[in-house]
Structure 1
Amino acid sequence: MSEKPSVLPAKWDDLTVRITSAVAMTVVGAIGVILGGHWFQMMVVFVTAVMVWELWMMIRPESATSGMLLAALLASVMSGQLHDETLFAIVLFLVVPSIGAFYLKKERLTFFCFALGIQLAGWGLVHFRADYGFTWILWLILVVIATDVCGYFAGKTFGGPKFWPSISPKKTWSGTSAGWLGAGVVGFVFIMFTNAGWSIVWISMVLSFASQMGDIAESALKRRMRVKDSSTLIPGHGGLFDRFDALLGAALFMLLVAYVFNVPGVAF
């Protein structure tokens, strides 16, 4: 008895698995974002710790136990750090990246920079949720989602010239620009029910670009480490680092903006 041929073209083969995994992550993430407080903190700390473990495993896969211990240390450090407003809390950002880099035999600077970026982004997300509330963390997340979804479908549908073929061969200019447009639409929608002015549209598009750079940075890391995915934790998506790399880029951008312009709440 012959197998029933797939209804979807080959280039869409992964769509069902991706959507199923995305829905599951969206439900869990939405619950955490809506509840806020300690629930959101615990979710972010967990995801941040797992991403640091994935980073370690890409560089030193033969030492899984060390990676798990490092992730546990990060979870402990970050949990205390989120409730400490002193200079000591800032110094704590260096603990896990420094210890991990010390015990690695190669790619020490790579680990230090990425681990520090992951931790900073996680810290920023928690404070954005606490200081600015549900609406604006929702805006940030929706911009990242719109960028990813619009970019995925436009890239698959239209193809065309590659955006940065030496680092991310699958990304096209059509998908990249569609991501910007999708983010702009999100900004436009938020004008209707918030006090944000028209500037939120172009800010959303800049944030979209920052999220794409987070994706590009992780793609460059994987290419350097010669791995396809950061891990196999999420069917159709790879690891948490693969799924949240764009959100990391967006969060780091917003943290930079808050620091440079001394935005109340998250500026040091």
Structure 2
Amino acid sequence: MSGAARWGDLAPRLISAAVMIVIGVIELWLGGIFFAVGVWLLGGAMVWELSRMIAPEARGTALALGVLSFAALAATWVMPGLMVLPLLLAAAVAGAGRMPGRQVTFGLFAAATLLACYAMVSLRDGAGLLWVLWVIAVVVATDVAGYFAGRSFGGPKFWPAISPKKTWSGTIAGWVAAAGVGFAFAGVLGAGAWLAVVSVLVALAGQMGDIWESWIKRRLGVKDSSNLIPGHGGVLDRFDAMLGGALLAGLLWAFGLLPGLA
């Protein structure tokens, strides 16, 4: 691969990333309902994309399921905690019923998407801005380190049958970067050095979210979940790793296993 081809997608990726960063920083800083609405919109968009990939002939259904997902996430804002889980799972199951032959694929991924979105909003609202920044920083650092290390060093593929572009060099570089983020946040969050270990686990969960989406796309013969984000494909293509990281972080928090929040 020539140098120009190797880095040819870098400019649109950087421009799109810059726009997303500006919007994300504003919503993160504002917090509350402003951050929540942004996450709910992303959740609805991701379920919309998932529906379009699985059932491209039913675009009206995809839009309806995206709206339903947004509404289910919005309803969690005013619902008691114990009622949130069945509500979000019910929304995923309702959508799965409209996906003949792909019910399990849709249901599991849609449920994971909605639960991850809920976890991110809950973490911002209940634990504070710095904890959400930690999750984001871990996932972004993992992605950036993996991208540059993989493009620069190449080497054996991590899981070629599912994600042919991912290499072991990029994967390991992502873990190292995540550990560095953990050490950087350990003091300010009062979490100690264990946060570096947890950060690597969150990074791995993010990588698995990325691979899970890649597996779905390969099974469906789809290159990108959509073309909403120049250089990144769709919302799912950009935030699939964030889903995995947020979901694990939320689970660890729920079970009292996040150092500094236990």
- Residue 262 of structure 1 deviates from its aligned partner by 7.1
2:204 paired residue number: 209
Query: Contact 1:82 / 1:123 at 8 angstroms: preserved in 2?
Result: no
1:92 paired residue number: 87
Per the alignment, in what secondary structure is the counterpart of residue 154 of structure 1? Answer: helix
1:256 paired residue number: 251
2:122 paired residue number: 127
- Find out whether 1:241 has 2:230 as its counterpart: no
* Compared CA separation, residues 256 and 21, structure 1 to 2 (3 A): same
Residue by residue, what CA displacement relative to the aligned partner does 1:223-259 show, whole Å, maximum 9, x if unpaired? 1111001111001000000100001001111122223
Root-mean-square deviation (Å) = 1.9
Q: Percent identity between the aligned chains?
A: 46
Note the residue ranges of structure 1 that are not aligned, 5 or more in a row: 1-6
- Find out whether 1:77 has 2:72 as its counterpart: yes
Query: Contact 1:151 / 1:179 at 8 angstroms: preserved in 2?
Result: yes
Aligned residue runs from structure 1 range 129-208, under 5 A: 129-208=124-203
Residue by residue, what CA displacement relative to the aligned partner does 1:113-168 show, whole Å, maximum 9, x if unpaired? 11100000000000000111001110110000000000000000000000011110
Alignment partner of 2:31 out of 7, 28, 36? 36
Return the letter of the residue paired with 2:162: I
Return the letter of the residue paired with 2:254: Y
TM-score by length of structure 1 reads: 0.92
Residue by residue, what CA displacement relative to the aligned partner does 1:82-135 show, whole Å, maximum 9, x if unpaired? 221154332211222122111222201111111100000000000000111001
2:48 paired residue number: 53
Return the letter of the residue paired with 2:133: L
Larger of the two Rg values belongs to structure: 1
Residue by residue, what CA displacement relative to the aligned partner does 1:207-229 show, whole Å, maximum 9, x if unpaired? 11111111111111111111001
Separation of aligned partners in 1, 2:83 and 2:203:
33
* Compared CA separation, residues 203 and 88, structure 1 to 2 (3 A): closer
Per the alignment, in what secondary structure is the counterpart of residue 165 of structure 2? Answer: strand
* Compared CA separation, residues 208 and 89, structure 1 to 2 (3 A): closer
2:6 paired residue number: 11
- Find out whether 1:229 has 2:224 as its counterpart: yes
1:220 paired residue number: 215
- Find out whether 1:102 has 2:102 as its counterpart: no
